[in-house]
Structure 1
Amino acid sequence: MQQLAGVRIQVQAQTAALQSQAEAWAQRLGLPLQVGAAEFELQVTEHGLQLQQLGPQAPGAVRVDFVEGAVAHRRLFGGGSGQMIAKAVGVQPGVRPQVLDATAGLGKDAFVLASLGCEMGLIERQPIIAALLADGLARAEGDPEVGQIVARMRLYNGNAIEVMGTWADAPPQVIYLDPMFPHREKSALVKKEMRLFRPLVGDDLDAPALLAQALALATHRVVVKRPRKAPIIEGVKPSHSLEGKSSRYDIYPKKALKG
């Protein structure tokens, strides 16, 4: 994900006690403090960092919360290793592959896999989304149960193609990709996160290069999440797909995963 030019973003502290934190985030991200003509506001609150679009028709604020809310509900009641994403990356009895999520976003899919026991790397190239993710991970570390899960999640900031191209650690067994698809239908923008982030991140037009780099680095397989009716990414064709109601997982195997 990449930040688009021309989008005005400011940082604001919700209370005076949080002002120093707001100043630190502003400096880290190269953003101004309350300029008054912004379209988005990165808000430092007592409950964590959140992004709020400004204006009368704006959706609500978005922040990363691995302890409560929808992510926690999915962890507890989402179906465990029977979930389609788990099957796609190769989770099976005795097998918990090491996975790199190269399009991490808010970390929801990575958290699901980490909760199942996978060691996860996460790459996010949009700096503000990466900041939300880093803040959510840091807050979750203190939770007795969730802290054990996020300990399996390591965040890398930067362009995924460049990060993978200069990868110095042991190569991941599985690389998971969920590139932003160039939706045109209004119905595709229903989710609050999607409506909020699309002006910031645009579409992942370099998805073919991203896939090619992932295939070069992964040792066992690459998995690409797509809208169910979307075309495959240009380049090498997947061997097969797992299809759900609204999305599918295209699978590019290189080597069998074994326990």
Structure 2
Amino acid sequence: MRETATVSVCGVDLKPLAERLRLPWVATPGAGLTLMLLDGELVLAGDEGRYGKPLKADFVAGRAAHRRRFGGGRGQLVAKACGLGKTQTPSIVDATAGLGRDAFVLASLGAEVLMIERVPAIFALLEDALARAERDPQTAPTAAHLRLARADATHELAATVARAGFAPQVIHLDPMFPHRTKSALVKKEMRIFRELAGDDQDAPRLLEAALDVATHRVAVKRPRTAPPIDGPAPRHVIEGKTSRYDLYVHRALDDA
């Protein structure tokens, strides 16, 4: 794992954050990626030509708000993959939380979700977004269904779930893969993730860990034309326009 982000003092409260996350702290932003406060929100910023606009996790506005209002409810691909049916609302671990977008959708549909993120700088963005969502009247009910843990799920999934007192029926995985979208924004966002975390070489081990912990199913997000992760073959596949979910099913959620 590569951790290149520093934390700058665009707000005096960020030095304790740097110490807690064991990230370098500097008085002013320098080259590379820097965590900073911008308009009261924690962002990860660098040269805009390389990285695009400052990156943040946001459950209150922007893409999250639009998806919350118009996303399609339980008919969404991620909801179907994780087994949210008319009567089933399983407990879910999002073991590769990233910016928490899928986790927030699942929580908005009533699921209890534990987000796990291994990269300290991305974890900090999630922590800030969750705190803002808890303060906002529109998102506070959904935020109440979310929990957050910092850990490397490849090696610490079972222990992290146990510490959280969580009993996941479903584990959601979104291992990093090359995005071939034409969107420059997505390309630059993924560039940030790759610089911080490197390539996901441990996806087979992560899948194995998830299969050991989930009681009902593991849902793995993949590009629509990409091969499955090395390991056992998925039992079912749900396809969308640009991505799909490979499902590894222990037993039906109806049996819960």
Deviation string for 1:183-203 (max 9, x for gaps)? Answer: 286858750421322211111
1:237 is aligned, of 226, 233, 237, to 233
1:178 and 1:56, CA in 2 relative to 1: closer, same or farther beyond 3 A?
A: closer
Match of 2:248, SS? strand
TM superposition outliers: structure 1 runs of 4+ over 4 Å:
184-190
- In structure 1, runs of 5+ residues without a counterpart are none
Matching residue of 1:122: 115
Q: Say whether 1:22 aligns with 2:14.
A: yes
1:58 is aligned, of 51, 54, 66, to 51
Q: Determine the C-alpha separation between the residues in 2 that align with 1:122 and 1:56.
A: 31
1:49 is aligned, of 42, 58, 62, to 42
Q: Determine the C-alpha separation between the residues in 1 that align with 2:239 and 2:37.
A: 39
Q: Say whether 1:142 aligns with 2:128.
A: no
1:185 and 1:72, CA in 2 relative to 1: closer, same or farther beyond 3 A?
A: closer
Q: Say whether 1:216 aligns with 2:212.
A: yes
Q: Report how far residue 37 of structure 1 moved.
A: 4.3
Deviation string for 1:202-232 (max 9, x for gaps)? Answer: 1111000100110111000010000111110
Q: Report how far residue 145 of structure 1 moved.
A: 2.4
Matching residue of 2:26: 33
Is 29-38 or 74-83 further displaced after alignment? 29-38
Match of 1:209, SS? helix
- In structure 2, runs of 5+ residues without a counterpart are none
Q: Determine the C-alpha separation between the residues in 2 that align with 1:138 and 1:178.
A: 23
Q: How many residues align?
A: 250
Instruction: Kindly provide the amino acid, as one letter, of the partner of residue 75 in structure 2.
Output: G
Q: Report how far residue 156 of structure 1 moved.
A: 1.0
Deviation string for 1:137-169 (max 9, x for gaps)? Answer: 011101112011011111110110233232423
2:79 is aligned, of 86, 89, 103, to 86
Does structure 2 conserve the Cα–Cα contact (< 8 Å) formed by 1:242 and 1:248? yes
Q: Report how far residue 38 of structure 1 moved.
A: 2.7
Match of 1:141, SS? helix
Is 123-132 or 192-201 further displaced after alignment? 192-201
Deviation string for 1:102-158 (max 9, x for gaps)? Answer: 000000000000000000011100111001001100111011120110111111101
Matching residue of 1:155: 148
Does structure 1 conserve the Cα–Cα contact (< 8 Å) formed by 2:91 and 2:167? no
Matching residue of 2:245: 249
TM-score (norm 1): 0.90
Q: Report how far residue 53 of structure 1 moved.
A: 1.6
Q: Report how far residue 245 of structure 1 moved.
A: 1.1
Does structure 2 conserve the Cα–Cα contact (< 8 Å) formed by 1:39 and 1:55? no
Q: Determine the C-alpha separation between the residues in 2 that align with 1:148 and 1:204.
A: 33
1:120 and 1:184, CA in 2 relative to 1: closer, same or farther beyond 3 A?
A: closer
Q: Report how far residue 41 of structure 1 moved.
A: 1.3
Instruction: Kindly provide the amino acid, as one letter, of the partner of residue 224 in structure 1.
Output: V
Q: Determine the C-alpha separation between the residues in 2 that align with 1:201 and 1:257.
A: 33
Instruction: Kindly provide the amino acid, as one letter, of the partner of residue 79 in structure 1.
Output: G
- Measured on the aligned residues, the alpha-carbon RMSD in Å equals 1.9
Is 152-161 or 50-59 further displaced after alignment? 50-59
Does structure 2 conserve the Cα–Cα contact (< 8 Å) formed by 1:225 and 1:247? yes
Matching residue of 1:70: 63
2:158 is aligned, of 161, 165, 171, to 165
TM-score (norm 2): 0.91
